[in-house]
A and B are shown apart, each in its own frame.
Chain A
Amino acid sequence: MSSIVEQDIHADDHHHHAPGGGIKRWLYTTNHKDIGTLYLWFAFIMFLVGGSMAMVIRAELFEPGLQIVEPNFFNQMTTVHGLVMVFGAVMPAFTGLANWMVPMMIGAPDMALPRMNNWSFWILPFAFAILLASLFMEGGGPNFGWTFYAPLSTTYSNDSTALFVFSVHIMGASSIMGAINVIVTIMNMRAPGMTYMKMPLFVWTWFITAFLLIAVMPVLAGAVTMVLTDKFFGTSFFSAAGGGDPVLFQHIFWFFGHPEVYIMILPAFGIISQIVPTFARKPLFGYASMVYATASIALLSFVVWAHHMFTTGMPVAGELFFMIATMLISVPTGVKVFNWVATMWRGAMTFEMPMLFALAFIVLFTIGGFSGLMLAITPVDFQYHDTYFVVAHFHYVLVTGAIFSIFAAAYYWLPKWSGVMFDKKLANWHFWCSLVSVNVLFFPMHFVGLAGMPRRIPDYALQFADFNKWISIGGFAFGLSQLFFLALLIKACRKQGEPAAAKPWEGAEGLEWEIPSPAPYHTFETPPVIK
């Protein structure tokens, strides 16, 4: 059926245009740029879907008492919000960026396995259709938190858990295939002369991220499988009556879960390491140390998982080990932050939109890192665990960390993708509204959390009322601010704006800036020569 088009490197002109064919182009495509675009749009749509669930949560929590939704529905909202944001928004967005940028940054014509690339994207809309549809089933969708702890998921959950399990299975298949593609592309498709230690840091961080993905997504598959059999087939992995242990679930889940949080932040580190040198007009300070720091973060991330379980029953030696190992991670993380700051030191700085988001990232992610350090102190975590302090922590690292880095990347490379400069006015509105509202939204969560407000509960004690009102207002404002970005994206896709130069940022370096904007449909069919 599919005929093979011999790629003729001399007949350039017809390659530079995407094939026609309407919807078929997107369904059948093997082009890394098309697939990158698909991933990015999918991620953005999921960001809006997950965001509207957050709006439901914040509306319910606007005032104490139960007013808008049933507690069971509230639980479904927190659960599906988490799942959609982690697996539907942040991870696909990074994969989309990898698809677009990794081949262009290493001088490859495409991903190593282009057809599998298409497959791994198209699984995702189906997987999320299943997950979201399960919300409308009798009894409702998953309601046990994105961490689906046993026995909540094995004993007290509803039937749709089966659909949840299988949708996670196919999401996992998609992530593993995506990661295999990235890692093989990087190992095997680099242009001659592009040695490992010349690779841009975005490529490096994705290389290590892909390794983490391949190592831990199968463990997640194992965890959901055991939940499935415990719930539906009478096994007792997580039930003491049969000799199992619910705490085992947490060990397996967090053995996946902690590397997973680094999966969502390492590519962000890579993005920031691309952007800061460009706008500071200085080479990245300590390139090699950045590479080693990334690798050590990845390795350490396999031995810290039980810091999520300080309160669930471990021998003291275990608590101490996981406390110290967790704190160790701050060392390579600190190396990164200091390197970014040192890159800017005495640089000729300008503050275009990607740089603004990158600077916001550095400051706000660091706040999240510090609250992580507080949580890592075992005795102190007994007080903070399962409160809004944890919610504040992971939203600082994930929203102002991972998501801000994705915005930064989008602004940085949008001219390359679309061929036009984005609307600067809309971008400014987007940035400043997001920056203010995100802090109104998440900063007070530290306070209510320290005071003991539990997470994942639709009601709260009266003394938390004032802060929660502010949190909700911040939440709605942050949600609305994203509409500026939507408008900006639509304008860019319609090519409204001044044409962008091949290198729209004066200080930028790298192969991706040596090709015209918009990037032609096929790039580097003959490998470039790397100095």
Chain B
Amino acid sequence: MSQQHADKYYVPAQSPWPIVGAVALFLIAVGAGNVVMQHHKGTDGYGGLILSLGMITLMVMLIGWFRDQINESMAGMHNAQLGQSYRQGMSWFIFSEVMFFAAFFGALFYTRMISVPWLGGASNNAMTNEVLWPTFEAMWPLTQTPSGLVTEAMGWNGLPLINTVILLISSVTLHFAHVGLEEQKRGQLMWLLGLTILLGISFLGLQVEEYVHAYTEMGLTLQSGVYGNTFFMLTGFHGLHVTLGTILLIVMFCRVLAGHFTPKNQFAFMAASWYWHFVDVVWVMLFIFVYVL
């Protein structure tokens, strides 16, 4: 790999955006922390304001940073080696996201395989059940918690199945949009990318509907024991990732309109599509382990 480089390296110039980004994260962390504390104590405060300020700063930073980046790339300043660095960086970033979801899947497996059965007296925990939670019976989905909260379980064959189909199709459409880009078929690229975005948005819409249904009719909430916890945390973080992915795809759509990509110069498009496929795979895991099994 290292042999093929040109004899000259490209070193990006100084930039104000990283420090703006650091300030943004600072404001977001302080703001979010205060929002949570206010919510907990039921008091007023500046948390929300600081958080919004942080978000705005982050947006400004992202726009500024990417604008510089795009300008430099259009001006041909980036060489093949930098492109390779971006691709590798993106792959490692996705790997870190995989590990983030792994933590929550780990919690799900532990709860299903260990903590719930043990509370029900499995292994050598008969006394735990007998003395602490005598009325509790182990089951999954956990529709009655040891402390007695009752909820309904979310089935898999309604909205979730439709959503699975939607996401799977969207992966295919995005793939062929990418093929369109590589083969310079602009029409195919545009309409398939547009379709992918619409599929992403409808996924999110159905997900919201499912949440409303869970909260208002099934008594399944974030508070209703580990079943609700793992359900909402896993699908919730996944939903956030779909949202982010959709935004990325919309940005890509605008950049396609602006004629930014060529088969040779398309890192951003590729990164967005990798991200989308990754989010898709996570959903398949979710569908299997959260809904079906």
Q: Which residues of A contact B (CB under 8 A)?
A: 1-7, 9, 19, 24-25, 27-30, 108-110, 112-116, 118-119, 122-123, 126-127, 129-130, 159-160, 162-163, 165-167, 169-170, 173, 176, 179-181, 183-185, 187-194, 214-219, 221-223, 225-226, 228-229, 232-237, 240-245, 247-248, 251-252, 255, 315, 522, 524-527
Contact = CB atoms under 8 A, between A and B. Distances in A.
Given A27-B16, A240-B119, A188 B81 contact: yes
A166 B24 CA distance: 13
B226 A130 contact: no
Contact of B37 (A4, A159, A225, A243): A159
Contacts, number: 271
Given A19-B14, A241-B146, A526 B229 contact: no
10 contacts: A28-B15, A109-B11, A130-B30, A188-B2, A214-B96, A235-B228, A236-B226, A242-B147, A243-B225, A525-B11
B229 to A, nearest CB: 4
Contacts of B26: 123, 126-127, 129-130, 170
A119 B29 contact: no
> Which label, helix, strand, loop or mixed, suits the secondary structure of the A interface?
helix
Given A116-B18, A167-B29, A223 B111 contact: no
Contacts of A222: 100, 102-104, 107
Contacts of B103: 218-219, 221-223, 252, 255
B106 A251 contact: yes
Contact of B13 (A5, A113, A233): A5
Interface stretch (B85-93, B175-183, B257-265): B85-93
A359 to B, nearest CB: 35
A115 B3 contact: no
Nearest to A3: B13
B146 A242 contact: yes
Given A122-B22, A219-B100, A1 B11 contact: no
A228 B11 CA distance: 40
B1 interface: yes
Chain B interface, >50% SS class: helix
A241 B222 contact: no
A408 to B, nearest CB: 29
Given A30-B14, A176-B96, A240-B115, 5 more contacts: A109-B9, A123-B26, A183-B92, A184-B89, A222-B104
B1 A169 contact: no
Interface of B: 1-3, 5, 7-19, 21-23, 25-26, 28-30, 32-34, 36-37, 39-41, 64-65, 68, 72, 75, 77, 81-82, 84-86, 88-89, 92-93, 95-97, 99-100, 102-104, 106-107, 110-111, 114-116, 118-119, 123-124, 132-133, 142, 145-147, 149, 222-230, 233
Contacts of B147: 241-242
Nearest to A192: B3
A130 B103 CA distance: 25
B146 A240 contact: yes
A25 B147 CA distance: 59
Contact of A28 (B14, B39, B114, B142): B14
